[in-house]
Structures are given as structure tokens and as C-alpha cells.
Structure 1
Amino acid sequence: MRNNALLNLLVIDEDQLYAERLVKLLSSYYEEVNLGFLDDKEELLKALRHQWDVLVFGRAYDLSFTDVVGVVQEQDLDLPMIALMSDDMAVTGCNDDGLPAVIDGNMVKALVAEKDTQIVMAICLQHANLCSRQQLKALRYVLSEAEQRANILIKNSKSAVAYLDQGIHIFANDPYLELFGFDTVNNIIGVPVIDLIAGGDNIKAFKRFLSQFDKGSRAQVEFKFESRRTDGTTFEAELQLAAATFESKPVTQIIIQQNDNSTEIAKRLAVAERQDSLTGLNNRRGFEEHFEALYQLVLVGKTSAALLYIQLDNIGKIRNSLGLQGIDATIKQVGYVLDELIVDGYVSRFSDTAFTILVENLTTQALTALAERIRITIGDLYIEVEKRTTNTTASIGMVKIESNAAEPNILLERAIDAINQIREDTQNLGNAYHLYDPSAHASSDDDALAESLMNAIANNHFELLFQPIYDVNADRSDFFEVYLRLPLADADNTILMPNQFMAVAKTHNLREKIDRWLLINACKQLNEIRKLHPQARILVQLTSASLVDKKLPNVASQLINAVGGVADALTLQFNEEEVANHLSMAKIQFTALNQARCQVAIRNFGSSEKSVEIAGIVQPNMMRLARTYVDGINNADNLDTVKSLILRAKALNIDVLMPYIEDAATMSVAWSVGARYLQGYYLEEPSKTMTIATEK
């Protein structure tokens, strides 16, 4: 049973075969074991620059277990250690029963080297304990931050808020002090909360209420009572209790509100803002809020749903014959029958002549039957307008909302597209319904796009753009990132970027062919520019299809030879997420590419919690920072984070590229972070050719 993804195991021993045997045994419990092996102090100091989960000590050239413990403690590392029994440890490391004299969450001293089962279990348990400590540390930090934010909000809140410890005030904000007539917070500290309650019955009821809350009951957290100020005056109030922390200790939070009509007025206003005045139904705002809430329930699998968009057909004819009065009467009558007809659903007037209905847990057959019933019911209406009679019909577009559904605004657009399909099918007569079928639309669009992709591969219809990258160390910009584009032969001269066509390419198994086209044609242009500028080089983004392609190193080697055989002429980059998803293969592929004199890079570096760990495993030559770090770099905390990330990368001998430098402010900060490479529109935009400025 494998319950952990990765174990970073550092073994200090003279016998490497023993370490590899441990890795084999641990593979039953981990998807991957990253082994570090050494046997002297100098290597230990280097190894501890990386992150390890467990250290196993056997025998070493110039180290004792005490030395190792001292080094780890000097560097203030949280690293569990396991000592394997040697002759000197046989005396000090075991008790009279032969068991380890020391067993805790950080150390086991000492185990017999031949007892593999004990050692493997000790490693697993020490690792689990380390993970628990790390999680606890993170949770404590989150709790501390949350408490700090809460206290700031409470101090600045207009609501009356206080903290109680066993019914005694230990803190209150200014509105709370003002409400009860206290001058300072020191005056209320130590005052029992029951002193602020008037009337014996109120006090008895509150004591029971507070007692139940302290025992853990949350069935009732609100209490209405008569409050008493310090001057003896009283007022009707309502309090709410909540569990909280204050200075890292559990307390009870109390919020008090004076009873007045403002709450009721606010509720009435909220209802009015979401209600259509003509029909009494929910309006568009009410619909959108309900739609969003229902959509979230669908996403987590708690229900399935459908949207019906109902458009009245002959409104223009009614306006011409009966004017606005006729339209209002028609809309009002249709709204009434829809509200009567839809018992288990949410009906809204979406716009002047359109209604929406949200229903849950209907099969496709039941949904179409409902649409037909609505269509017939509206078509059979006779609407009285003074002494005249009119009628109308409806076109009904339907969309099913399932767990993999698109966003609400897209679903609404699809329902309207279904109405347009009805208009086209009935020559604008309407009086029909149509269920939007995403698969039918996606199939036709994907086929057309796939055909364009195959044509672009065969006939070189792709386009390449090149954006210079400034090398801080070399003080030049002859390093270019290559971008792939797909022009479409339409009236709008549309140009698609990879994120717009790679999903279709994946479905039709075209990504590897597109990557190969990109590599070959980018290197062709590199070969031309290197005739004038021999130090020019390129950075090419490839997909995961190439990351797992065993032929890629050979292809890269041939292309490097074609452009002059220089080791750093070609750098291939892969998204961090794809590297993480294919970690074992990526490690092998990166090594093979380096052996083929091809450099490798990780794109969107820093987008996961284990970015540095991943880089340490696959050892890229370069890392391209994720955009989120650059967008917020003017913030001091974000700047420190970026600097720290770059320092950690440098410790692994990895160069860092800072992209997306779009303005002067970002550029001024970029110089200070320690990145080797800088790139962005502020420096230079992508162009169709590699252009290198010639020094005069």
C-alpha cells in the first residue's frame, strides 16, 4: 500500500548496496524514494543544502553519529535521524533489553542494521511524524494569522464585539464600550457579562444559554434580552456567541446588536432588489445569485440541474396592435402561469420578454417533457387587454448543468444559442424548444480545428514569434524565446495561441507532430541568425507529449549539430505541472537531454508548493518564474518571496528567468532580485524575426 508520493532519504554509510536495499524495501510504501548517499563530513554539509525527510546513519569515513547530530543541530534542521547499531552504540545506544535507548519523534537510537523490518518501519514512522510537525507548524501559522486579522477587523468594526473567558470580559472594542457606557477597555476587563443584563429572568435564561454553549452545544447561538448600561438605562438587544481565540487561547466571542427596524428594513430592501415589480417573480439579479449557488452544488456532485430560457415570440406584433399595455399584460399573465406550473423550480423574469427557469434532478426525457408542457401552456393562453384578446408563443432553449459544466455565463449563452437555433430552424416563427448539445457543437468545431492543425503541419502554415531575453551576466540580448501561433484563414484574420488549440491537438494526437515542427523550424531560423551572431540561442516550449518521448534527446542532438554543435544553443522548457505529473520520466529525460548537449528549463516555476523540491530532483539548467510572482513583485512580501526562491534556485546551480516585465516599475525592481535573465514587453516585444542590435 502506497500512501506517500515521495520520500527524500539521506543515508550515511560505507555500503551503497545496503542503501539501495532500503530504497527497494521502501518502494512498497512510497511512489518514489529520492536517495542521497555519502560517507564523509564534507559531502554531508553539501547534502544538507537540500531538503531531506529522514537521515539513516550507519558507518562513515570520518563521522560519528554524534558528529551528525551536532551538524544537523548547528544548521537548525528539523531532520529525523536513525542510528544503526555499531560496536560503540551497543553499549550506549541500547537498554538492558536490547531495545533502542532513545525513541522519539526526531530520533531512533539504535537499531540493528540487519533488522530491515524495524528500520523500514522506523523510517516510515519518522517521516510521518515529520509531516505531522510540518502540517502543525503550518496550521499554527494560519491560526495566528487568522487571529491577527480577526482582531484587527474587530477593533475597526462598527459592530459591538467583546471576548469572554468563563463569562468574564477580557476585551471589548470601542462600539461595545460605547454601547454600555464604559470609558476604556480597562474599565470592562473583569466585569461579568451577566452584569450587563437586566431582569432576573433574563439572567437565569442567559446563564443556561451560556452554559450550553460552553458545553459545546451550537444549536442556539443567539439570545434576545434587555441590556443595562452603566448609567442604569436599558435597551432591547440581541447577542450572538461564537468560539474564538484571543492571544492564542480559546475564548467566547460575543456580538451585540440593538433591536431596531433596520434589520427588517434591510431584509425588505434585499427582497425588493431581487423581485420584478410587474410579475412578482425574481428578477435577473435574483436569478443570477440563485444560479451561482445552484451551480456550486452541481460542481461538488450534490445535485444535477437544468436551465430553461423562455423567449416570447410575437412581442413585436402585440406592441403594434395593443401597445405597451398589451405587452405588460402578456408578460404578467405568462409569469403567473409559469409560477403556477413550476412547483419544484426557480422562475425568474430575466429581461423584458424573457423568463428563466432552474430545475433540479430531471432526466433529459423529463426536461424535454417539461419544455413541451410550458410551450403548450403558453400557446393556449388567451390574454385580455381591456376589451381585446391576444395570445403569444414561446421559444425555449435548454441547457443541462452537470458536474463538468462550463461557467454560468457560458451556460446562459448556450441557452440563448439554442433560441437562435430555433429561430433558424423555424424561420423566426418560434413556438418550439431545443436542448443544447455540447458534444455536437464541440465535435464540429474540433474537427475543423484539427483539420487546420494538420494542414499547418503539412504546409508550414504555423507562425513563429521571437522575444529577446536579456542576459544580465553577459550584458546582451541574443537569447530568444520562441512562440507558436496558428493563423486562421477567416474574415477576421484570427490568430490562435497554443492554449486555444492544444486541447484539440491532444485529442487528435497531434501535439508531438506540432512540437517537432516547432523545433525544426525554430532551429532553421536559429541557424540563419548564428551565421552573423554565433552566440545566438533559443528557448523553446514543448508539451508533455515530448517530455515522455524517448526519441527527443536524439532529435535535439541532431538539431544542435545542425546549428553548430554549441552546447547551450538550444534550451527546451516544459511546464512545471507536467514535470510534476511525469516526475520519474522527466528526471530521465532531462539527464538524457543534457547528455545530448541540450539545456532544459522549467516554465511557471513556483506554481506548486514543491517547486524547489521538483527542481532538485530533475536538475534543470534554468527556471522561468510563474507570472504570479512578477505581478505582485512591488509588494515587499512578494519581493522577499521572489528573492528567496531565486536564492534557493541558485543553491541548486539553476539560472532563473524573470519574465513579464511590462512596465518601468517592474523593471526597476527586477534588477534587484538576482535573476540571471530578464524578459518582457518593456524590454522588447515578440517579432517575426530574431533581431540582434549591433553595437556601434
Structure 2
Amino acid sequence: MAIERKTIRLLILEDSQNEAERLVSLFRNAGRATRVHRLTSSEDLAETLQQPWDLLITAPSSEHLAPHEAITAIRRQAKDLPVIHLTAGNESDDITEALALGAQDAVPQGEDERLILVANRELANLEERRARRAAEVSLREAEKRCQLLLDSSVDAIAYVHDGMHIYANRAYLQLFDYEDGEELEGMPMIDLIDSADQAAFKDLLKNYSSEESASELTCHWVRADGQRFQARMSLSQATYDSEPCIQVVIRNETDNAELEEKLREISSQDLVTGLFNRTHFLELMDAAAQRVVTDGQVATLAYLRVDRYTQLQGEIGLADTDLLLTDLAQLLRKHFGKHAEVARFSDDVFAILLPGIAPEHTIDALKKLLKDVEGNLFDINGRTVQATLSIGVAGLNETTTKAQDAFDRAHRCAEELSDGNGLKLYDPADELAAAANRGNITAIVQQALDNNSFRLLFQPIISLRGDNDEHYEVLLRLVNPKGEEVPPAEFLAAAQESGLGSKLDRWVILNAIKLLADHRSKGNRTRLFINLSSNSLQDPTLLSWLGAALKAARLPSDALAFQLGEADAVTYLKQAKALTQGLAELHCKVSLNQFGCALNPFNTLKHLTVDFVKIDGSFIQDLSQAENQETLKVMLASLHAQAKLTIVPYVESASVLATLWQAGVNYIQGHYLQGPSQSMDYDFSADE
């Protein structure tokens, strides 16, 4: 499954149509869908800039529009359009000049890989800037709505910084008999409090700042006209004009204040157990997630599921099940004490939030809880009932700041304890397994690499010219967590897209070398053909790594032939040239696959050090027609004239064998001869 990327809108300032098309092809080969416009004049630029664009690439020079004029025009219109300037060489003065003009970066013309890396970086930065601007707009709108709510609130609300008023809403002004908020700005709040209660107010502020005490206080207040009244104030952290402050809410004491407090308490409690309910616990989790971001304070969530809950309900009834849950709640309170937030999260689930504690530091306490619950004999209306728990544990930290992620992970851990009475701590590898179970191809590939669970198959490559050597192509297969085979084209594309292609190739090489060394130790003269992805083609460390691997395996280098796809070789011709030369120096063989599909395939071949050429399968289709036979014969004759050994794949019937033999093909491969097998057991002597 390839990663979906949105289409980028690309401007190119380049006089050459062919070079512009090459740049577009470069982006598309890198997996970037593009909408492109080539600039031809300053008027064209002015008109084009009326629409949004994502990136401008400028050539070193242009007869129609100088690059510096284009950059100046963009800056003059204050367009957030990143510019990458291509320079004629790698001179630092040229690069510095481009950056000074306002380009985001300068790249020497022809360094295509570097251009794509720089473009990806600038596109990612542009996306971040756009997201930030959208967030700033949303924030301003939210602040406006909050301000309207404050101004229209029936509660008296003020914002206080260092004990001074910085804002007061209309209700607050009316409560203290002030006509204008400017009269209160800068006034110490303590001036509105009766002298008898000022000491208590100072203590409240002191303790509130250190979070050691309650944030509410009932005291006597003094209005502007000298009248006194009693009211209760509550304090909470807030931000006003981007500055941290304290929000003060004042409500007149009424006869039903105690009732309101009771209702507020009840609204946060589970009616059966007296613990926090789901809604309130979610608020606590959100607050803990916020503290991770603002204060760096970690927290741990323990997800406790009562085992055999449905069976217990059937055995003791609904009413007695509630009594059991109440007793369990008391046990949890006693076990965790005041430092933990305990809730009944659903019918059979309790949730524990442990602020300031990392998950690995909770294991001993949770294991003790498991033993305590298992060993406890619950007396339910004269009947003894035993219960056990399954506990899943996950943390909130700098890499996991979303409360929902912690819930999902802890829940999965608890559900995986099918036998119950156990504890499972979230492991990041579980995330990979979960993604693999959901069918994410990249996750399945990564999991197979981690678990060494790929399979290698071998398909014989058979000589039509009496060659006695044993040749096999190594093919890779992958099975998903459901036991289904993933189509190779699908998982290989996903591996390449996610940057795992090189790791995958090295896994194949190492495991193929091990099997080949064992196979050759039995007297077989076997050569394996191993496919390399475009990721490996661009990997400068591959050759040194391969040399060390061959030396360690004590395997002759020519026992391996590495296969490159023609399309990859055309796209990365410079790297392919260096790689094939390096492989030749190691005495490894090289094969060019899918040959014949490029505009000028023989031109590509001139730059590569190649021993074998495997013809593209499209040339084998419908060989009954004379013109198709002639096309294949001409291609093969040209290859043989260059001393290349030819391979024709996809031989599916006997009818084409005579044509291929007459055309001079060296080797054939296909299901007619033998399909891929787990063993290298083909009888090559039978074809002599």
C-alpha cells in the first residue's frame, strides 16, 4: 500500500521544454503527483501568481524572465512560495547569491537526488506554515468567542496578574458598582476584600500558586459605594492576551450553594461505586495530557477489566454484581491511596490515572493488586465470590501526548490477556503489530523484518545452450497476520515508498548467501540472481557491506548475480553506473531486467557494466506473429553482438521454445519449466 500524497502545484522557470519535462518526470518518479506550469514571461508570472502554488524551481538563467526578477516579484506580493534556484555549478558564491536574493535553497543543476530532498523539505515546511496560519486564525476566532462569552456571562469574572486586575466583565463591574473596566485595571484585587478576610485571601493565592490547597474561598467583599456582601470566589489558571494569569469567578452565596456543590460532586461520580465516572475521568485524562505538553509531567493509565464479568452476572445476579463492584472499588481506593485518580470507566472496567509516574514504575504495585484481588474473598450477601482482573498499562509522555492513544493502547493490552488475571505493559512493537493486523502493508513489512518471517523462493533459469551451471532467481514472499500471501508488487512498492527497500534487499542477500553457502557445500555449482530495489541502487554503503558479507560467508563473489530494473537504471543512471562497476570489481555478476522498454535501451546499456540482460516480458507475448518474432530477434542479435548473455522470462508453453532457440536466447525462465519453489532442487541435467 503506497503512501498517498497530495498533488503539488509546481512552477518551473526554464527555457528548455525538454529540461522542464525532465524535472516533472523527476518529481513523479519520486512519488509526487504534480500540476505544472512553465513560466514564459513576467506577465505570465503576474497572472499565474493570482492562483496558489507550492514550489518554484528556477533555472540558472532564462532569456524570458531573470530568476532574481521572479523571486523579487514573489516577495513583493508577499507570497509564501518557496523557491529553489538551480545553479550552473557548485560555487559557494552562486549559492550565497541565490540565498541572499530570497531563494530557500540553491542546488547545482543535475544533482537530482539532492533537489528532491530539498524540495520535500521545503514542501513540508510550507505545509507546516499553512497549518500554523490556519491554527492562528482558529485561535483568534476562539478567543473572540471566549471574549463574547466572558462579556455576556452572568457570573462575575475577572482576570488577575500579580494580584492586579487586568480584565473584568460586565457582571463583575456591576457586582462592585463600577461603571468602566478602566477603573479596575491595575487595582489590587485585595482592595475589594474586607480587611478581616485579606489574610485568608493572601494564603489562598500563595497556596494556589504552589498547588497545595483548595482554589475556592468564601469572604466578605467591599463595593465601590462601601456596601459589604459575602460571596464565594474560585480561582483557575488562565491566559489573557497571551500572558498567564488567574481567572477569578465570584458567585453570591445562596441557600442552595451546598446543594449545588453536592450536585456538582454527584455529576462526576459513578452512582454504584462512588468512584469518578467515565465523563469526569476523561476530563482528568485530558488535563494529564495537557501537563505532558506544558510541564513535561508523565502519567500512567491502568485499564482494569473484571474477568468473567458476564458469567459473574449470571451466577450472582445484577444487584449482587453491583455489590461486588462496590467492594472492588473500596479495595482499589485503599490500594492506590490519594495520589491516584480512580474511576469506573464502564460496566466491567475500572481506570486508574497515576500522575507523575512512568508505566514501568507501576508494575510492582499493579502485580500486588492482582494478587490482592485474586486472594480476596468477597462476601456478597453471605455468599463468597472471587474475582480477578486483566490489566493493560500505557503511558502519557512526550511521544504519546493524546489521551485517546493511551486508552486505545491500554485497552488492547488488557484484551490480549485472554486467560485473565494478568498484566501487560504496552510495548511500541504492539503498535506495529496492531497496524499489521489492520492490513497496513508497510507495518507488515517492518514486522516481517523484525521477526525474520519473510520466505525465499527459487525459480530456475535454464540454459538453451548446454550450460551446466545451476542458476536460480531468488524471489521474496510475505504472508500477512491473517495467513494470506501479500502480492509481491504490493509489498515491494510499499517498502520502497517507505524507505525500507534497502533493508529488505539486505535481508534477502544475507539469507540467500546463507542458503547458497550450504547448497554449494554439497558440490553444487549454483548461482543466485538477486533483485535490487531503487533504494539499494542509491545506497553508497551497499558495496562495502556486500564485500564484508561475502567474505564472512566464504562464498565466491561470482556465485551471485544482482538484478537491476531498467526503469530504475534510467532514473538513477549515475548511481547505477557506479554500482555496476563496483559489483564487477567485487567479481559479482550483474543482470539488467525488464530490458527494452526505455526510449533508447541500448544507450542505457552503454553506461552499465552488465553480464546478463533479461528481456521484458512484453516481448514474449504473441510470438506467433512474424513481426513480433523479428523484433525480438533483432534485439537479441544486438545484445549478443555486445557479448551480453540473454534471459527470456515468462515462458509459459512449449510453443515458444523453438522460436527462442532459433533467436539464439541463452537462458529461459518460466512456469512451463518450473514455478518458484522453496528448494533448489531442479534437475538441470534433464535439459541437456
TM over 0.5: no
Output the TM-score relative to the length of structure 1. Answer: 0.40
TM-score by length of 2: 0.40
**Which structure: larger Rg?**
2
